[in-house]
Each structure stands twice: as structure tokens, then as C-alpha cells.
Structure 1
Amino acid sequence: MFAPPQAQVDQQRMRRAHVSAAQAFSVTPAGPEAWGWQGRTLGRRADRWWLRLVSTPVGKRGGHLWDGTATADAALPRSVPRPRLHGVTEWTNDDTAYRAELSEYVPLPALQAGGPVLRTETELPDTWWSDLLSALTTTAAVPTVRQAVRQQWIDRNFTRFLGIPCPGAVAWTTGHGDLHWGNLTAAPLVILDWEGWGLVPSGFDAGLLHAYSLRTPATAARIRSTFSHLLDTPDGRVGELVALAQLLQVAARGGHPDLTPHLVRHAGHLTGRTVPHPPDPA
């Protein structure tokens, strides 16, 4: 979860819209607020459901993240453990578009509250790891034209953050696109937040989760062993490097400062070169 928007007017606007959504679904919100990045989303438990509100300027309505939850619910097999979508409603107010999604409420907390970086070692059963492997394997086989990672981003940023040439070819597969410890529950596994799902480089999801685990060596090692069939291949190595480049870009913008030295060190290990600390944003 993130902090509410700094501007009180934006907080009030989102809260009013959330109340309107609850009235549309005939549910009653209760419990703490869960804000998304830069106040773009607001979620709360509502009776036996989870009510999530998304807002965007009208001109950006329909972008990649706008309908991700609904398209994932329709496309992914039931064997992929996730909250099922119950209903959707959309409306506009002045220059802002809103989308409200009513989904199953998941009573289990995320494995890492307050952010994506794992800060203490996990103690998860073998069945949890096999369930995660199965879920990602099933997801990889789902056909889609949605893009969670774009080739244009790779072309623009791969060399900038890693100091090595862009890969000549990328093997694409379907993935979650934002696999981190704030989007995973303990057993029984549930994978949360599918709004950004789509095509990713092979090994990207596993590489991203591994990168977010670099402060916890035992858990990082478990990820590498579970997904060695991906990460220890040339295509999977490319996907892992793309994930590292993404996080190094986040670090360049001031994100995850305690993770940054680990990212730099691991990127250097994979590339065989000294990777500098992330440059300032262009």
C-alpha cells in the first residue's frame, strides 16, 4: 500500500467516488483504506467483497492498466489462484474517469505489507512453491496481445541501466507483470493485483520476484532453485536482466534505496561487468 495523495482535494474526490461506487453495488465499505501509487487507486473491504476504485484523466481512459483486472479474470483459467471479479462499473465526472471493481475479498494478508521488497526470510511450505510454479506456468500458456513489458522500453533502457548491449531477440510469454511480495499471500497462495498482466520476457516474473528478495538470501535461493528451468537459460537470463533494469530505473527515481546496492551487485554478477549505481533520470 502507498500513502494517500498529498492534496486533500484529491483524497476527498477519491473518497466521494468510492462511496458512489459502493452505492452502485449496494455494499457498505468498512476497514482501512488501501491507496495505490500516487493515489490512482483506492480500495476497501465492502461486506464480503473488496471494492477497488481506479481513476484517470478522461483522455487516458482505456489504457493498459484500466481493464487489466477484468481481462485477466476472463482469460486466466480458474486454476490460477486469484480473487475473482464480481462486477464492474464506470463513469466520468468533469475531466476524470472512474472505474470501480468489486472482487472477492481475500482474508489472508500479503506476505509483505507496505511494499514489494521482502525484508525478513519467509517460511513457506513446499506446496506453496509448487502452487506458485504451477500458477505461473499456466499463466505463461494463456494467449494475449496485452503487453506488460514493451520492446520499446527494453530498447531505450536496457543498455542505460545495465551497461551491456540490448539482446538481439526476446522470447515473450504471458506473465503477471508485477510479481512481488505485496501481491502474494501465504498458504493457501493467492496472487493479487492482475491489472498489469500481459506479455513479458521469459523469466521476467521469476526474475522480478528474485530481485525483490535480494535482502533475504535464503528466500532468493529458493526462488532460483524453483525457477531454475527458466532463470538458468539464455532466454530466462534476458528476462531477469529486464526485470533488474526496471528496478534500477525505479532506484534512479529514489525508490527502494535499501535494495539498490543488492540490485547493482546482482546485475554485475549476471552481466560480468561493474554496473554503476543508477543514473539520474533523463
Structure 2
Amino acid sequence: MSPRPPAPRPADLRAEPVDDVLGHVEGALRTRLDRGTLVRKRRSLGARSERGTWVRVERRGLDRIGLQGGDGTACAAALRGIAKPAWRAGIAWRDEAEPVVWRADETDLLPGAPVGRAVMAEHPGLSEEWWAALNASLDALAAQRTHRIATPDTETLTQELVTSTIDGVFPSLVTTVRELRPAHADLNWANMTAPVFCLFDWEDWGMAPRGLDAATLWGASLAVPALADRVRAERAADLESREGKLMTLFVATKIIGPHADPEDPRLGAARETAQRVARELG
């Protein structure tokens, strides 16, 4: 067995110099990026191109490439029945100085702005048509198959990860996963648009326990109880399944576990739900 690649140094692209990276992308894709539209996140960048497309650039350590190679957006182009931006081109290259892979993907522009931040602080007031489109896309995704494995937070979603995460708070539960379905694996309010629904940022999608996406979106909504209730109502079939309950615990224990933020407004609701679901599973 070959040794695991070394982990790269921690980096935050909101603060790192990125001109060389953007220049490399422009040369490879043969377009210019509008720096005035640049969106900087912790591990990704995005900007509009001169030809009216969007280019997203991600920095990912070699130790986090795993089984899926970091090409999620390109692979998602084969998925059908899902509202997502069309993929046009992609490039990848290894950093010369660090154990890091850079990946840039060019897609069509989004049909609207992101619904909000990843974790919502207020109700977005979405239309019935929006919720119907969300459900149609998630149902279409679940009906398909892939050899990819989901990587929420860039961690490969193995049985060991599920067990160790839940065991940190509920060590006596049986956490064996039996039902897998394709999942977006980063379903939060910053990765969907409104008023027209569109789901983007497909870097981490792959097979996962049923209910991962629904539980992730529920967890991102807990600071707004009415929104969290709506997510639970819309995705009840997933969340009330056995794997859906495990994924609810998986998400909740990330919020309330050893590294919990005492200022997180989701703590109370996450703890209450986790205790109830643990009793149901126990």
C-alpha cells in the first residue's frame, strides 16, 4: 500500500494572494476573468469570465483527493433531471511547491443569486415552486448511480467516519449504514439560487447514506426554526428513514460535539433533536 500523501499547510483563499492562480486559469481556459466579480471563500474562488460564463477554482490537498479525483463538477454533467448550471470546461494542475491540486471549472452563469449564507439566520421566504424544484432535483439525483463517494467537508464519507462522528456524543448506538444513494454532499443555502432554483458547487457529490442532503440542509436551517421545520416536512421520507435518522445524528453531532461553538444559535435545537433521534434508534 502506498503511503498517504502529506497534508498541505492550512490556507484561506480569502486572505492568500491569488493573482498567479487566476492568471494560470485565464491562460489555460483562454479567457479573462472579471476581478470585480471575484468571490473568495476559504478554499475556493469564483469569477465571471469575459465570455459570460462562471469559473470556479478550488484548492484541495492531495490527501483529500481520494477515490473521486476532485472532478465533481465535470462528472455531474452526466446527471439528468437536476437544475444545475451546464458544465463547459475544466482544468487541473498540481501545485509546484505544495501537496495541493488546483481545479478550475467553467460553467454557465447561475439563474439567480445564492439564497443566503451557508447557515441561514433569517427565513428566505421561498416560493412553492422553489420547494417543488428542490424536491424534483433531489429525487432525480437519488434515482441515479455513481462510483463516486461523497466527501462532505472534503472528508470521504465512509462507515468509519459516520461511526466516529456519532460515537463522539452517542457511543452506544449501532451506526451501521445499509442504504446508499447519490448526494450533493454540500447542500446548504449558499449553494442554491432563488427565486429560480439551481443547485451548484458539485465538487463533493457521490454515494452517501440516504438522507445526507436533507439532514445537511436541516442543520443549516436550525437557527430559523420555521425553516428547519419546512426542510423536515419537504424531505420527511428521507429524514424518517433509518439512514436519514443516522444522518440527522451525523449532522447534529458535528454541531454539538467536542468542537461545538458555544455561540452557535443552532446548539439547542441540534441537541434536542439529536437526543430524540438517538432514543428512536436505540
Q: Same fold (TM over 0.5)?
A: yes
Q: TM-score range by the shorter chain?
A: 0.7 to 0.9
Q: How far apart are the structure 1 equivalents of 2:221 and 2:53?
A: 30
Partner of 2:46: 43
Q: Secondary structure at the match of 2:21?
A: helix
Amino acid at match of 1:212: A
- The answer as to whether partners of 1:170 and 1:238 remain within 8 angstroms in 2 is no
5 Å-filtered alignment, 1:24-173, equals 24-30=28-34, 31-37=36-42, 40-47=43-50, 48-56=52-60, 59-60=62-63, 62-63=65-66, 64=68, 66-74=70-78, 76-77=79-80, 79-96=81-98, 97-113=101-117, 116-148=118-150, 149-173=157-181
Q: How far apart are the structure 2 equivalents of 1:88 and 1:128?
A: 29
- The answer as to whether partners of 1:108 and 1:186 remain within 8 angstroms in 2 is yes
Supply the RMSD in Å over aligned alpha carbons.
2.5
1:94/1:146 CA distance change after superposition, 3 Å:
same
Amino acid at match of 1:191: L
Partner of 1:279: none
Q: What number of residue pairs does the alignment pair up?
A: 259
1:248/1:85 CA distance change after superposition, 3 Å:
farther
TM-score normalized by structure 2? Answer: 0.82
1:205 equivalent to 2:205? Answer no
- The answer as to whether partners of 1:85 and 1:101 remain within 8 angstroms in 2 is yes
1:19/1:248 CA distance change after superposition, 3 Å:
farther
Amino acid at match of 2:230: R
1:183/1:255 CA distance change after superposition, 3 Å:
farther
Q: How far apart are the structure 2 equivalents of 1:205 and 1:65?
A: 21
Partner of 1:179: 187
- The answer as to whether partners of 1:73 and 1:84 remain within 8 angstroms in 2 is yes
Of 186, 199, 202, the match for 1:194: 202
Partner of 2:8: none
- The answer as to whether partners of 1:173 and 1:200 remain within 8 angstroms in 2 is yes
1:267 equivalent to 2:274? Answer yes
Deviation at 1:5, TM superposition (A): 4.7
Contiguous gaps of at least 5 residues in structure 2: 1-10, 151-156
Deviation at 1:157, TM superposition (A): 2.0
1:53/1:247 CA distance change after superposition, 3 Å:
same
Q: How far apart are the structure 2 equivalents of 1:169 and 1:88?
A: 34
Contiguous gaps of at least 5 residues in structure 1: 274-282
Q: How far apart are the structure 2 equivalents of 1:171 and 1:224?
A: 19
Amino acid at match of 1:268: Q
Of 5, 15, 19, the match for 1:15: 19
TM-score normalized by structure 1? Answer: 0.82
